[in-house]
Amino acid sequence: MDAMILAAGYGSRLRPLTDHTPKPLIDVAGRTALEHVAARLIAVGADRIIVNVHHLAEQIEAFAEERWPFEAELLLSHELEEPLGTGGGILHAAHLFRRDAPLFVHVGDAVADVDLAGMYAEHCTHDRLVTLAVHERDSARCLWFDDDGLYGRDNRNEGWTRTIREPIGASRRWSFAGIHVLSPRILDLFVEETPFDIIDAYLRLVDEGHAIGAFDVTRGRWLEIGSVERLERARAILAADGE
């Protein structure tokens, strides 16, 4: 199985830590953020890890050559001029993916202890184009799902909601947990120009009749490390657990 970790951003909310250290290499209770995420993906069958890089990419290159602790192969996708966004990063790395099985995409700034194996199995059972990990969380930005899957998104801070169609059955407003399972056929369906947001592409694909489902990970532990305050909280929780 292939898995991609999205890690090309500047980590602006983690400054000054990320002025000299790329976010994937920030220490989180004795391991880098990259190691935490990769270990969880490898535990459910990933034998190739693709990481997109831009900010301080040379440090991640050195880590890959000198400190990568896993048997799984590590491949880097370089975004040279600028970060290409969540969608652009996946598209730019498309040539690195094997296309014989669904693949994971995992945000690089969250340490999640969720049922990844169950998520992958559900995706395969329903033969969806995409399955998204979601949770019940009070967030300003959320996705809207109904009995047929994804049909909209909103941003309460900016005061807008975008829906593709009328809901079918019950509607649920869920926060996206930053973990996707993608069927490889999606790699041929992107028409957006980089950089682009993957959720915008997903909504276009829904409008074209593709199924994008949700997998509820509310009961799992999801520790975001995208800000200094949240990083310190994650460090404390993981250290207490001995991770």
pLDDT of residue 139: 87
Residue in the block written with tokens 């990083």: 231
- Mean pLDDT of the region 39-66: 94
Residue 182: give the domain boundaries.
Answer: 2-241
- Domain with residue 204: its CATH number is 3.90.550.10
How many Å apart are CA 83 and CA 12, to the nearest integer?
13
- The residue ranking higher by pLDDT, 88 or 13, is 88
- Burial (CB count within 10 angstroms: exposed 0-12, middle 13-18, buried 19+), residue 200: middle
Q: Which of 36, 58, 57 is nearest to 107 (CA)?
A: 36
Question: For 187-224, what is each residue's pLDDT tens digit?
Answer: 999 999 989 999 999 999 999 999 999 999 999 898 98
| pTM of the predicted protein model | 0.93
End-to-end alpha carbon distance in the chain: 25
Q: How confident is the model at residue 18 (pLDDT cuts 50, 70, 90)?
A: confident
Q: How confident is the model at residue 13 (pLDDT cuts 50, 70, 90)?
A: confident
- Mean pLDDT of the region 58-75: 94
Question: For 78-119, what is each residue's pLDDT tens digit?
Answer: 998 888 999 999 999 999 999 999 999 999 989 989 999 999
- Mean pLDDT of the region 52-78: 94
Q: Which two tokens stand for residue 96?
A: 């690195």
Number of domains in the chain: 1
How many Å apart are CA 146 and CA 218, to the nearest integer?
17
